[in-house]
Amino acid sequence: MQVSGALLFQLGALLTTLAILGAVARRYALSPIPVYLMAGLALGKGGIMPVAAAGEFVTTGAPIGIVLLLLTLGLEFSATEFASSLRHHLPSAGVDIVLNATPGAVAGWLLGLDGVAILAVAGVTYISSSGVIARLLGDLGRLGNRETPAVLSVLVLEDFAMAAYLPLFAVLASGGSWLDAVAGMAAAVGALCAAFAASYRWGHHVGRLVEHPDSEQLLLRVLGVTLMVAALAEFLHASAAVGAFLVGLTLTGETADRARKVLGPLRDLFAAVFFLAIGLSVDPRELLPMIPAALALATVTAATKVATGIFAARRDGVARRGQLRAGTALIARGEFSLIIIGLIGPSIAEVAALATAYVFIMAIAGPVLARYTGGPLPASAGRGD
């Protein structure tokens, strides 16, 4: 076996840099996603320091990052939580889609993009980052707050909406007709319902296929099955991401818990690789002219997410300040918006540049706004009584 010193060194240096910058971001309760994007931009084409050897690995690893992100999302999904969210927050989900997808669609239309690209931008502005937000709520000590279930319910419903959106979008992005796309979406939603039913009734048996007391065995089995299902889904033009999400949904209970644990570190690594890849694929020179549009879009969709949060929290009988906290918590966009960008890839460079700039702004602005609105942080509020 030939060892490529350049690859090892570049990759090592890259990960170390990410670790240091990410730690700085974490210190201020910020998400490290913008840091990863920034690093990718700096290192890619037109960047300050192209890394050819590691770049290849990053590009290969990126799809695995998408698959792992969706797999763990599926693993975290529970039928009870989904049903409860649906019961209490279906109207909130409707408000969420209308308020947040529309600005993206309008922006795409104003920029003179075609239908697929408009759909892409709408998706990017619609979907909040459940990863960033769940972490943020924990960091800010807001998990116990009364508005938090509303926020989390909206996120769960968004994640599920993504499962319908991704195949529709994947087919359109790969050049299929709207009819194919709707068929693809119907197939995916059907498969989703089937997986749901299967996990509900026979989740135990499905789990037994991959269950093994040895973590190494469990990791290899879950990963192997997921990658194959993802490949199959991709082959059927339903998006690998949806396939991975399905596998995650089907695994439940103890197996899901353990799989989450063993896959966690792997997911973190490949998710970082995926974010890097997005940065690498965008030319900073294309990004700059898109910044004013991205800023305008960010301002509008931050406001619409706040409105969504206020609406959802009000349904739960939360007072004014809590409603505002719910609204600002929902602002952050992140991994899913990037997955949409990943799917269109370099085919529509304009959209990729706009959306990358947009996510970059939102992943920073979201946590900052959430931190400074809706009353003082608990630590300082603690002096009250």
Partner 1 sequence: MDVKEVLLPGVGLRYEFTSHKGDRIGIVARRGGDFDVVLYARDDPDQARPVFCLTDEEAEAVAQILGAPRIAERFTELAHGVPGLEAGQVRITPESPFVDHPLGDTQARSRTGASIVAIVRDEQVLASPGPAEMLRAQDVLIVIGTEEGIAGVEQIVDKG
Relative orientation angle of helices 5-27 and 33-43, to the nearest 10 degrees: 140
Determine if 381 is a binding residue for partner 1 (CB under 8 A): yes
Determine if 4 is a binding residue for partner 1 (CB under 8 A): no
Determine if 309 is a binding residue for partner 1 (CB under 8 A): no
Q: According to DSSP H, which parts of 236-319 are helical? A: 240-250, 253-281, 284-287, 291-315
Residues numbered 189 to 208 that lie near partner 1 (CB under 8 A) are: none
Q: 204 or 321, CB closer to partner 1?
A: 321
Q: 212 or 314, CB closer to partner 1?
A: 314
Which residue, among 55, 54, 70, has the nearest Cα to 227 in the 3D structure? 70
**Total residues binding partner 1 (CB under 8 A):** 36
- Tokens 């906290």 belong to 325
Q: 365 vs 24, 30, 163, 332, 369, CA distance in Å?
A: 16, 9, 26, 7, 6
> CB of residue 379 vs partner 1: minimum separation in angstroms?
8
- The only residue of 96, 147, 158, 211 in contact with partner 1, by rule CB under 8 A: 147
- The only residue of 4, 59, 84, 102 in contact with partner 1, by rule CB under 8 A: 84
Determine if 79 is a binding residue for partner 1 (CB under 8 A): no
> CB of residue 133 vs partner 1: minimum separation in angstroms?
9
Determine if 321 is a binding residue for partner 1 (CB under 8 A): yes
> Cβ of 77: how many Cβ atoms within 10 Å?
21
Q: According to DSSP H, which parts of 140-214 are helical? A: 148-173, 178-210
Q: How far is it, in rounded angstroms, from Cα 127 to Cα 159?
A: 8
Determine if 220 is a binding residue for partner 1 (CB under 8 A): no
- Classify each residue of 285-295 as buried b or exposed e, where b means 16 or more C-beta atoms within 10 Å of its C-beta: ebbeebbebbe
**Tokens, residue 346:** 């370099």
> CB of residue 333 vs partner 1: minimum separation in angstroms?
17
Determine if 92 is a binding residue for partner 1 (CB under 8 A): no
Q: How far is it, in rounded angstroms, from Cα 126 to Cα 270?
A: 24
Which residue, among 107, 149, 151, 146, has the nearest Cα to 129 in the 3D structure? 151
Residues numbered 243 to 282 that lie near partner 1 (CB under 8 A) are: 257
Determine if 318 is a binding residue for partner 1 (CB under 8 A): yes
- The only residue of 44, 47, 63, 149 in contact with partner 1, by rule CB under 8 A: 149
> CB of residue 260 vs partner 1: minimum separation in angstroms?
8
Determine if 94 is a binding residue for partner 1 (CB under 8 A): no
Burial class (CB in 10 A: 0-12, 13-18, 19+), 338: buried
Contact letters (x/-) for partner 1, 101-140, by CB under 8 A? -----------------------------x---x--xx--
Q: 222 or 326, CB closer to partner 1?
A: 326
Determine if 143 is a binding residue for partner 1 (CB under 8 A): yes
- Tokens 């990658």 belong to 227
Determine if 152 is a binding residue for partner 1 (CB under 8 A): yes
> CB of residue 258 vs partner 1: minimum separation in angstroms?
12
Q: With contact defined as beta carbons under 8 Å apart, do 238 and 245 qualify?
A: no
Sign of CA pseudo-dihedral 62, 65, 69, 70:
positive
Q: With contact defined as beta carbons under 8 Å apart, do 76 and 252 qualify?
A: no
> CB of residue 188 vs partner 1: minimum separation in angstroms?
22
Determine if 155 is a binding residue for partner 1 (CB under 8 A): yes
Determine if 148 is a binding residue for partner 1 (CB under 8 A): yes
Q: Which residues bind partner 1 (CB under 8 A)?
A: 76, 78, 80-82, 84-85, 130, 134, 137-138, 141-149, 152-153, 155-156, 257, 318-319, 321-322, 325, 375, 378, 381-382, 384-385
